[in-house]
């Protein structure tokens, strides 16, 4: 007995539907590249903390969320996996968090001092990496003395979640 693939039974999408779906995937990839959230509608609960979602009435996917949601509710989601070839969209619930901006001056505590002389500073729950050539006034101190010390940093660069800074002041 010859088996016919399931795709033979599916209805072919119209050209308008294909264009709409391609535009939606374009928005998904743009949002993923920028690290921005997308708004999705919850269509059903699959498992505890896993929901099926719909983006712009064309693209289906999954949302992982520790919170309870109602069917039809619109939520913001951060894209985890977007694969057009496999038609796979995986997201997680987006939480509003303060983003460190380039040029801002922030305070934090030194978490770690590497053997190479680089520092890791905790600022509002985010890690800011300070290269050894950007230690500024901290150079006058022993690296061991800098651990758990409060410092003032200038944010130099934010690249895909990694934050690079420079120390302006050391507060002992």
List CB contacts of 46: < 8 A, sequence separation 6 or more. Answer: 52, 62
pTM attached to this predicted model: 0.55
Could you say which architecture CATH assigns to the domain 105-171? Beta Barrel (2.40)
**Domain covering 13-93 in this structure, CATH number:** 2.40.50.140
Predicted local distance difference test score (pLDDT) of residue 10: 62
The whole-angstrom separation of Cα 21 and Cα 15 is 10
How would you write the pLDDT of the chain (172 residues) with one tens digit per residue?
455 555 555 678 888 998 999 999 999 999 888 888 999 999 999 999 999 999 998 999 999 999 999 999 999 999 999 998 898 999 999 876 666 778 888 899 999 888 788 889 988 878 899 898 888 888 888 877 888 889 999 989 887 678 888 888 888 7
Exposure of 34 by Cβ count < 10 A (0-12 exposed, 13-18 middle, 19+ buried)? exposed
Predicted local distance difference test score (pLDDT) of residue 9: 57
Predicted local distance difference test score (pLDDT) of residue 97: 61
Domains 13-93 and 105-171 share a fold: yes
The whole-angstrom separation of Cα 61 and Cα 52 is 6
Could you give the residue ranges of the DSSP H alpha helices within the chain?
15-34, 143-146
Cα→Cα distances 79→65, 92, 127, Å: 13, 7, 22
Domain boundaries, the chain: 13-93, 105-171
């Amino acid at each position: 007995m010859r088996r016919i693939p399931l795709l033979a039974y599916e209805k072919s999408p119209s050209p308008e539907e294909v264009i709409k779906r391609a535009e939606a995937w374009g928005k998904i990839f743009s949002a993923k590249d920028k690290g921005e959230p997308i708004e999705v509608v919850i269509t059903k609960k699959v498992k505890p903390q896993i929901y099926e979602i719909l983006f712009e009435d064309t693209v289906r996917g999954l949302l992982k969320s520790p919170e309870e949601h109602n069917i039809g509710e619109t939520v913001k989601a951060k894209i985890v996996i977007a694969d057009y070839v496999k038609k796979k969209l995986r997201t997680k619930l987006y939480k509003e968090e303060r983003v460190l901006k380039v040029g801002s001056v922030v305070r934090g505590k030194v978490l770690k001092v590497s053997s190479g002389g680089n520092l890791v500073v905790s600022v509002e729950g985010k890690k800011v990496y300070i290269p050894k050539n950007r230690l500024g006034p901290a150079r006058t101190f022993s690296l061991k003395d800098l651990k758990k010390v409060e410092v003032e940093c200038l944010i130099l660069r934010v690249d895909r979640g990694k934050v690079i800074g420079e120390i302006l002041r050391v507060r002992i």
